[in-house]
A and B are shown apart, each in its own frame.
Chain A
């Protein structure tokens, strides 16, 4: 079956530091890949997505590239801000209308 593995948090960084949150997946076929973000007290929100190999999703300074050869979709940001503090979930979905398969989430704490 499908599965997603994320690095365990919390990840603690200083403001303006470079961020990488690793995500690898196992899936049959050609899944679509997503990163969701959950700010305190709110629901998960779609941050970015990629639907095929070598696609790069980007939003709000975050980027992730769909790497089929390494089955990875690592999240990166060049300069984090305190407002980026949240929990980040990597997820995938197969073809059709199947529900998302999530990773366990990685908490990011950015200190001023």
Chain B
């Protein structure tokens, strides 16, 4: 089946630094990618929808200047957490959609971000 690669799987950084997370669709082109965030024992919360070649659409309450999303090609989207703080510590998951419906939606394995 289709594979989505997400890196890194785990990152620890100091407060104030920026962290970039990559999401790649390895064997298909993804015009749309989604970024989710999950706190312990809570739902995956949609942060933003990323369409190739255009600006990401952010969900209400998500700071676009804090969470920079770039979807420059059909196989790569990146999420950069800028000036990270401890409250940004969370589990981040990307997903890539093959085609136009949610029938073929593939997920990365997630990134655990810990900000000290």
Give how many B residues have a beta carbon under 8 Å from the other chain's beta carbons: 25
Q: B residues within 8 A CB of A71?
A: none
Cβ contact within 8 Å between B44 and A89: yes
Whether A97 touches B32, Cβ cut-off 8 Å, given contacts A32-B102, A43-B4, is yes
Range for the number of chain A residues in contact with chain B: 20 to 34
A43 touching B44 in the complex, CB below 8 Å, given contacts A97-B32, A97-B100, A97-B101: no
The minimal Cβ–Cβ distance linking A26 to chain B, given in whole angstroms, is 13
Residues on A lying within 8 angstroms of B by beta carbon are 4, 8, 32, 34, 36, 38, 41-46, 49, 89, 93, 97, 99-105
Chain A residues near B36: list those with CB within 8 A.
Answer: 102
Which chain B positions have C-beta within 8 A of A8?
A: 41
A41 touching B34 in the complex, CB below 8 Å, given contacts A97-B101, A102-B43: no
How far does the alpha carbon of A105 sit from the alpha carbon of B45 in the complex, in Å?
A: 12
Min CB gap A75→B, angstroms? 16
Residues in chain B within 8 A of chain A (CB atoms): 1, 4, 6, 9, 32, 34, 36, 41-44, 46, 49, 93, 95, 100-103, 105-110
**CB-contact partner of B108 in A4, A36, A43, A103, under 8 A:** A43
Q: Give the chain A neighbours of B93 by CB distance below 8 A.
A: 43-44
What are 16 A-B contacts with C-beta separation under 8 Å? A43-B95, A43-B106, A43-B108, A43-B110, A44-B93, A44-B95, A45-B1, A89-B44, A93-B102, A97-B102, A99-B34, A100-B46, A100-B102, A102-B44, A103-B43, A104-B41
